A and B are shown apart, each in its own frame.
Chain A
Amino acid sequence: MSGNRYVARGNQLAARMLGDEMMIMSASTSTLFTLNEVAAAIWEAADGATPLDEIVTNQICKQYDVPVDVAMRDAENLVEQLASRGVLVLSDKPLAPSGIAREETR
């Protein structure tokens, strides 16, 4: 199990739902990914503040009627894979909310 693992979306990404899939593109590598509906739901819920097990228990299991242990195992695998590609950031502590850095340039 994950314990209190936190997940946040990377901030160099583009993302859009296309039908039942989510397209994600990494700006740094120009790599395109697609996530299925469940993976997309985890990605969207990855706000850096909500522990992964809470996302799985409160959102995924309820929405998709999946046993907690199965959903948790799949979610762990998914977030590890996405983290290795820069699509998610993983931490044992809460992360700053992902998003676009705001700054005055001109």
Chain B
Amino acid sequence: MSVLLEQMSAKALKLGIPLSVQLDLTYRCNERCVHCYLDHNDHGEMTTAEIKDLLDQLADAGVFFLTISGGEILMRKDFFEILEYARVKLFSVKLKTNAVMIHEKEARRITSLGVESVQVSIYSHRPEVHDAITKLPGSLERSLDAIRFLRACGLHVIIANVLMRLNASDYPGVKALAAELGVEFTMDPTITPMMDGDRSVLSLNVEEDLLKEVFRDQSLVGNVEEFCAPPVGRDEDALDSLPCSAGHTACYVSPYGDVYPCVQFPLPSGNVRRSTFLDIWRNSPQLNEVRSITLRELPSCSSCAHGATCTRCPGLAYMEGNMRGPSYQDCQKSFARTGIPSENLKAKRVSMPPLVQIQGLQDPRLAAAGQPMAAQPCFVP
């Protein structure tokens, strides 16, 4: 982050201004990605007029960075009308898309509207892998064609690569492809639970060995020694720090008008169909609760050596049952990075039975009651 942007973020925090908002226009999609956390049925999306009214409200509230995402944003027939209106309101707009519906004409239109960047999801450089993940035959070719159209218009394009078991060995290929196309590459090694709480997709998360390898790839993390350095221990300044921007200078609005602290933090905090955005932003008890949390008051993380350097996501922690608790996925990442288990992992290791659990077996006591045996998390130090 640039120094100026850091200063602006600090100022927004002080003034209580939501500097960044992600607005999902739709959850409908023309792909069916195996790891996707969304329900793709339309349960009553905001109308064009409602979205324009919301954009007016966001501009008045001081929102500067607007990420327009989905679902697939071009599934909305009014997409360009909404984008045009967002630019009339002078937002800095980033688009997230699978790009399969972007051709030369759409690329030129997006460029003429002064969009800051377009992020396109690419899971592999191999069509058989990418298309198997998206479940849309030909999708890699179509997405890459779109990237070429966007680049030809001079747009800033980012390839986003989600790392999972199905494409675990392909990220160097995607990175090389990004370089060949002249676009930025970013990678996310975290599969998140579905918004309805279903955690089955987490089985797609990559194994620890690959995570370790990724965290030691200089081309991804920069200075490996620094990135993987052991935690420095308890840091008094860090204890008073905020976990992330969610609810502080950023929030998320769903296609149905629901407001959440972040797209990855499904704590319902209000709905713009029932209240004004600013009323929700300022007065929502949920957002105010999120804002009240500092590292110092997190029962487990405040005493953890990783506290100051952990990438703990409060949204993931919330989805694990407690927004003040640790996020097991981030504990795993801290361990893969440094080789030192977090307090949470140590506790889990102590409480876990020493034997590997065999999935599919039924606990005879629960089987009698018709319930499957609870799965045990597996931690191998």
Contact string, B85-105, partner A, CB cutoff 8 A, digits 1/0?
001101111000000000001
Q: Decide if A27 is an interface residue (CB 8 Å cutoff).
A: yes
A21 to B59, CA, bound (A): 15
Q: Which of B5, B8, B77, B93 contacts A14 (CB 8 A)?
A: B93
A102 contact set on B, CB distance < 8 A:
84
Instruction: Pick from B10-18, B26-34, B300-308, B337-345 the stretch touching chain A.
Output: B10-18
Chief secondary structure at chain A's binding surface: loop
Q: Decide if A18 is an interface residue (CB 8 Å cutoff).
A: yes
Contact at B109–A103, with CB atoms within 8 Å?
yes
Question: Which one of A15, A16, A30, A32 has the greatest number of beta carbons of chain B within 10 Å?
Answer: A16
Instruction: Pick from B47-55, B112-120, B165-173, B261-269 the stretch touching chain A.
Output: B112-120
Q: Decide if B62 is an interface residue (CB 8 Å cutoff).
A: yes
A23 to B328, CA, bound (A): 38
> Which A1-48 residues sit within 8 Å CB-CB of chain B?
11-19, 21, 23, 25, 27-28, 30, 32, 34
Question: Which one of A14, A17, A32 has the greatest number of beta carbons of chain B within 10 Å?
Answer: A14
With A32-B8, A99-B88, A102-B84 in contact, do A18 and B112 touch (Cβ < 8 Å)? Answer: no
Residue of B nearest to A104 (CB): B80
With A25-B92, A28-B154, A32-B5 in contact, do A100 and B64 touch (Cβ < 8 Å)? Answer: no
A32 to chain B, nearest CB (A): 5
Residue of A nearest to B4 (CB): A32
A21 to chain B, nearest CB (A): 8
Contact at A27–B11, with CB atoms within 8 Å?
no
Residue of A nearest to B5 (CB): A32
Q: Which of B19, B77, B112 contacts A101 (CB 8 A)?
A: B112
With A25-B116, A32-B4, A34-B4 in contact, do A14 and B12 touch (Cβ < 8 Å)? Answer: no
With A34-B8, A106-B80 in contact, do A14 and B105 touch (Cβ < 8 Å)? Answer: no
User: Besides A25-B116, A32-B8, 9 other CB < 8 A contacts?
Assistant: A11-B114, A16-B91, A18-B12, A18-B19, A27-B92, A30-B116, A32-B4, A99-B88, A105-B106
A-B contact pairs, 18 of them (CB 8 A): A13-B90, A14-B93, A17-B62, A18-B8, A18-B12, A18-B19, A18-B64, A19-B11, A25-B92, A27-B92, A32-B2, A32-B8, A34-B4, A100-B88, A101-B113, A105-B80, A105-B105, A106-B79
CB-based closest 10 A-B pairs:
A14-B92, A12-B114, A16-B64, A27-B114, A100-B87, A105-B109, A105-B80, A15-B90, A25-B92, A27-B116
